[in-house]
Structure 1
Amino acid sequence: MNRRHNSSSSKNNFVRIFEVGPRDGLQNEKVQVPTPIKVEFINRLSRTGLKLIEVTSFVSPKWVPQMGDHVEVLAAIDRIPGIRYSALTPNVQGINKVLSLGNKGADEIAIFSAASESFSKKNINCSIETSLQRFNEVTQIANQKNLPVRGYVSCVVGCPYEGKIKPSQVIPVVQKLLDMGCYEISLGDTIGVGTPKSIKELLQAIQSSGISASKLAIHCHDTYGQAIANIAQALDMGIRCYEISLGDTIGVGTPKSIKELLQAIQSSGISASKLAIHCHDTYGQAIANIAQALDMGIRCVDSSVAGLGGCPYAKGASGNVATEDVLYLLEGLGYETGVDLNRLIDAGQFITDVLNRENTSKVARAILCKRQDDTKTTPKNSTTK
Structure 2
Amino acid sequence: MSTLPMVVPDPGLPSKVTIYEVGPRDGLQNEKSVVPTEVKAAFVKRLLDAGLPVVEATSFVHPDWVPQLADAADLMTGLTADLGDAARQLPVLVPNRRGLDRAVGLGLRHVAVFASATETFADKNLNRTLASQFEMFEPTIEAALAAGMDVRGYVSMCFGDPWEGAVPIEQVVAVGTRLLDLGVGQLSLGDTIGVATAGHVKALVAAFADAGVACERLALHFHDTYGQALTNVHAGLQSGVTTYDASAGGLGGCPYAKSATGNLATEDLVWFLTGLGIEHGVDLDAVVGTSVWMAQQLGRPSPSAVVRALGSADS
Q: Is the structural similarity TM-score above 0.5?
A: yes
Q: Helix, strand or coil for the counterpart of 1:192?
A: coil
Note if 1:79 corresponds to 2:83: yes
- The 1:165/1:316 distance shift into structure 2, 3 A limit, reads closer
**Alignment correspondent of 1:132:** 134
**Alignment correspondent of 2:152:** 150
Higher relative strand content? 1
Q: Which one of 221, 224, 233 corresponds to residue 223 of structure 2?
A: 221
Counterpart amino acid of 1:58?
F
Aligned residues of 1:309 and 1:320 also touching (Cα < 8 A): yes
Note if 1:353 corresponds to 2:296: yes
Unaligned runs of 5+ in 2: 1-12
**Alignment correspondent of 2:264:** 321
Counterpart amino acid of 2:208?
I
Work out which of the two has the higher radius of gyration on C-alpha atoms and give 1 or 2: 1
Residues in 1 aligned to 2:158 and 2:93: alpha-carbon distance in whole angstroms = 19
Shift of 1:211: 0.5
**Alignment correspondent of 1:141:** 143
Query: In the TM superposition, what are the counterparts of 1:368-379 in structure 2 within 5 Å?
Result: 368-369=311-312, 371=313
Counterpart amino acid of 1:79?
L
Residues in 1 aligned to 2:259 and 2:295: alpha-carbon distance in whole angstroms = 20
Residues in 2 aligned to 1:315 and 1:50: alpha-carbon distance in whole angstroms = 28
Shift of 1:79: 2.7
Please report the TM-score for the alignment, with normalisation by the length of structure 2: 0.91
**Alignment correspondent of 2:58:** 56
Aligned residues of 2:195 and 2:226 also touching (Cα < 8 A): yes
Residues in 2 aligned to 1:13 and 1:79: alpha-carbon distance in whole angstroms = 31
Q: Which has the higher contact order (CA 8 A, sep 6+)?
A: 2
Q: What RMSD over aligned residues (CA atoms) do the two structures have, in Å?
A: 1.8
Aligned residues of 2:289 and 2:311 also touching (Cα < 8 A): no
Q: Helix, strand or coil for the counterpart of 2:122?
A: helix
Aligned residues of 1:167 and 1:206 also touching (Cα < 8 A): no
Counterpart amino acid of 1:208?
D
**Alignment correspondent of 1:190:** 192
Residues in 2 aligned to 1:50 and 1:81: alpha-carbon distance in whole angstroms = 17
Q: Helix, strand or coil for the counterpart of 1:325?
A: helix
Shift of 1:317: 4.1
**Alignment correspondent of 2:306:** 363
Q: Helix, strand or coil for the counterpart of 1:306?
A: helix
Residues in 1 aligned to 2:86 and 2:16: alpha-carbon distance in whole angstroms = 16
Note if 1:97 corresponds to 2:102: yes
Counterpart amino acid of 1:133?
E
Residues in 1 aligned to 2:84 and 2:209: alpha-carbon distance in whole angstroms = 35
**Alignment correspondent of 1:240:** none
The sequence identity of aligned pairs, in percent, is: 42
Residues in 1 aligned to 2:100 and 2:255: alpha-carbon distance in whole angstroms = 25
Aligned residues of 2:14 and 2:237 also touching (Cα < 8 A): no
The total of aligned residue pairs comes to: 300
Residues in 1 aligned to 2:101 and 2:272: alpha-carbon distance in whole angstroms = 39
Q: Identify the range of structure 1 (350-359 vs 183-192) with the bigger mean alpha-carbon deviation.
A: 350-359
Shift of 1:294: 1.1
